[in-house]
Amino acid sequence: MYASDDLRRLYRVSLLRQLGLPLSDIARELDDASRDLADTLGRHIGDVDQRMAALGRHRERMITVRDSSPPAAQPTKNCWRSCMRWLKSITV
């Protein structure tokens, strides 16, 4: 049987994982009683915002490539190189 403290800890781990926090952040949150959950979630929200912005830029670039290519034409090698350099520069 699990003690009530163990169940609370398990529930917290499960909740934080469902919110997308990495296990390393969850471990720090659980191991340091002085950490504030709101601060941890605030940092995670900032990370999510950055990833969403990067995905938005990625989406816009895909639309630009799609719309700049004539129908049934293949993008040029320079276009592909440019896209690949740009894709390497974003973090998702």
pLDDT at 68: 80
- Mean pLDDT, residues 3-28 taken together: 90
The yes-or-no verdict on residue 90 having pLDDT over 90 is no
Q: What is the DSSP string of 5-57?
A: HHHHHHHHHHHHHHTT--HHHHHHHHH-TTS-HHHHHHHHHHHHHHHHHHHHH
Q: Structure pTM?
A: 0.62
pLDDT of 78: 79
pLDDT averaged over the chain? 84
Residue 64, pLDDT above cutoff 60: yes
pLDDT of amino acid 92:
53
Q: pLDDT band at residue 72, thresholds of 50, 70 and 90? A: low
